[in-house]
Structure 1
Amino acid sequence: MQTLTSVDGTPIAYDRAGHGPAIVVTTGAFNDHTTCAELAAHLTGDHTVVTYDRRARGASGDTAPYAIERELEDLAAIIDVAGGRAAVFGYSSGGILALAAAAAGLPITHLALYEAPFALGTLTAGAADLPARLENLVADGRPGDAVALFQTEGIGLPAPVVEQIRSSPAWPSLVAIAQSTVYDATLTTVLGVPTPAMLAVDVPTSVITGAETWPGLPESAAALAGLLPHARHVVVPGGANHGIPPLATAEVVRQLLVWSPAVRDVHDHA
């Protein structure tokens, strides 16, 4: 991996592969640059794909205090190393970050938002105090409890499922990045309801859901596609439990980059 230095001095680790028009991938909670590696591999034949570790996870650093603006600066720096302009694929809370980045004027040509948990339809935003409660648990030396709290209140997993995860081999890796739960909770509470500036973003956008995903996400995606000026909702086969079917999703991304939004279809299927 390579490393750049963001505006506030935080090292941000990234991988760059392929050749052609640039696509930047920004991921969600408990993810690092490897989360979308298979998707990226399907795109590098004709695109430059840059994946990165958001701050406080993977090989990237972190600098207090946190603000959403710092993550926008990180993404701006990644787009710069990608060539100065890029399409952005945002997964889960990374999709909220991607739309906020476009609203902030970053040089984003296209948006692919995969199951971004916007509080639209039957989905609701997290409790406003969730980021502060997570921060307090981490500060008190209870990172595991922060992870469990985010999984139950931030993601909506049943408590018995969280207890199963606690005893799984993956648990230590989640605890290691507990601080990042504060940042994802901040995104989903502060920007979970899209701002007017976010809803005014007029770059071509595909709002994507898997056919077998969690309840609420397809309705939210369809609602968001209907609110954005140049967007369509695309359903890809598979995608059980909020996962990404890499091959089908890569094809949706390719179609997005050549799509003309002159005729909008908000109920598309791959």
Structure 2
Amino acid sequence: MQGAVPKRTTSADGTPIGWRQLGTGPAIVIAHGAMSTGEQWLPVAEILAEHNTVMLVDRRGRGLSGDAPDYDLSTELADLDAVLAVAGPGATVIGHSYGAIIAAAAAAAGADISALVLYEPPLPVVDLIAANACTSCARAVEAGEHERALSIMLADIVHMDESDVGDLRRSPMWERMVDLVPTLPRELGVINGLAGDLDRFTTIQQRTLLLLGEVTAQYQRDATRFLVERLPAATRLEIPEQAHFAHVAVPGTVADAVRSFLGGA
């Protein structure tokens, strides 16, 4: 991460929360999804850093951040609040997947955020997110079978094509993702626990860009439609030929979408 400066702050429960910071200008805070760290968004951040201060957060339990035994969505919200206190008032927050749930929940709770970019938050708006697969994944983690748990996650929850999973297994990303598997069951539990609490997300007032891959899973499309239909200042943008990881596959396209959205304020 050439040019990225590691920084840290402390969350409400005393857990250290770290990020890598690039560029100068209005602040953009990026909250990554499950099975990754902030590093996954570096190609997008390097483009955005031409005109912005970009803060690539490592969410608790990975990378530069610490962890604690107690965990729920409120701990993640406190973590993001701690970073936003450093970023200053009116930051933009980009959230991907589980990170998009955190970003949306923070905005709904009144965090000082000027704009949101939400890339496929997996809200359980039609049904629980692959409940049987979540149970199988948790059991695999309990058994120490982390590669099997990751395979279940990608195939049965993210709905990644078998060939794409095979490509990922042969890439350097696979080992890094396997290392993060122990954080997965608690996050899946939070997602499905939101099934009766979706109205909290309809109070978001900030300008919101909802990114959606053209060939992404149906439950992601359902969640995005739910927000588009209920948020007063939401814009939906579909990314051609992409699914859940366009920021990795076509980072320039994602960065351009964010810059266009912010430039149109």
Alpha-carbon offset, residue 116 of structure 1: 2.2
Alpha-carbon offset, residue 97 of structure 1: 1.4
Number of equivalent positions = 257
The CA distance in 1 between the partners of 2:105 and 2:204, in whole Å, is 9
User: In the alignment, what sits opposite 1:268?
Assistant: none
Q: 1:225 aligns with which of 200, 224, 228?
A: 228
User: In the alignment, what sits opposite 2:183?
Assistant: 180
Q: 1:66 to 1:131 in 2, by over 3 A?
A: farther
Q: 1:116-161, CA deviations, whole angstroms, 9 ceiling, x for partnerless residues?
A: 23345xx743255876765554344333343233334432346787
User: In the alignment, what sits opposite 2:3?
Assistant: none
- Tell me if 1:109 matches 2:114: yes
Alignment of 1:57-96 (within 5 A): 57-96=62-101
Alpha-carbon offset, residue 243 of structure 1: 1.9
SS in 1 for 2:56: strand
Q: 2:147 aligns with which of 130, 135, 144?
A: 144
The CA distance in 2 between the partners of 1:130 and 1:77, in whole Å, is 33
SS in 2 for 1:36: helix
- Tell me if 1:14 matches 2:22: no
- Tell me if 1:36 matches 2:41: yes
- Tell me if 1:206 matches 2:189: no
Q: 1:209-261, CA deviations, whole angstroms, 9 ceiling, x for partnerless residues?
A: 234x324244542442122111011123453553223223223222332445x
SS in 2 for 1:184: helix
Alpha-carbon offset, residue 14 of structure 1: 0.4
User: In the alignment, what sits opposite 1:243?
Assistant: 246
Q: 1:189 aligns with which of 182, 189, 192?
A: 192
SS in 1 for 2:176: helix
**C-alpha contact (below 8 Å) 1:203/1:230 kept by paired residues:** yes
Q: 1:142 to 1:204 in 2, by over 3 A?
A: same
Alpha-carbon offset, residue 106 of structure 1: 1.4
The CA distance in 1 between the partners of 2:207 and 2:46, in whole Å, is 23
User: In the alignment, what sits opposite 2:56?
Assistant: 51
Q: 1:159 to 1:247 in 2, by over 3 A?
A: closer
SS in 1 for 2:40: coil
SS in 1 for 2:20: strand
The CA distance in 2 between the partners of 1:28 and 1:10, in whole Å, is 19
**C-alpha contact (below 8 Å) 1:115/1:221 kept by paired residues:** yes
Gaps of at least 5 residues in structure 1 are 261-270
Write the letter of the residue equivalent to 1:125.
L
The CA distance in 1 between the partners of 2:264 and 2:189, in whole Å, is 32
The CA distance in 2 between the partners of 1:148 and 1:172, in whole Å, is 12
Alpha-carbon offset, residue 171 of structure 1: 3.5
**C-alpha contact (below 8 Å) 2:124/2:223 kept by paired residues:** yes
The CA distance in 1 between the partners of 2:134 and 2:118, in whole Å, is 23
Indicate the percent of aligned positions where both proteins have the same amino acid.
31
Alpha-carbon offset, residue 98 of structure 1: 0.9
Gaps of at least 5 residues in structure 2 are 1-5
**C-alpha contact (below 8 Å) 1:152/1:158 kept by paired residues:** yes
Q: Please, which moves more after superposition, 192-201 or 45-54?
A: 192-201
**C-alpha contact (below 8 Å) 2:22/2:54 kept by paired residues:** yes
**C-alpha contact (below 8 Å) 1:113/1:208 kept by paired residues:** yes
More helix, by proportion: 2
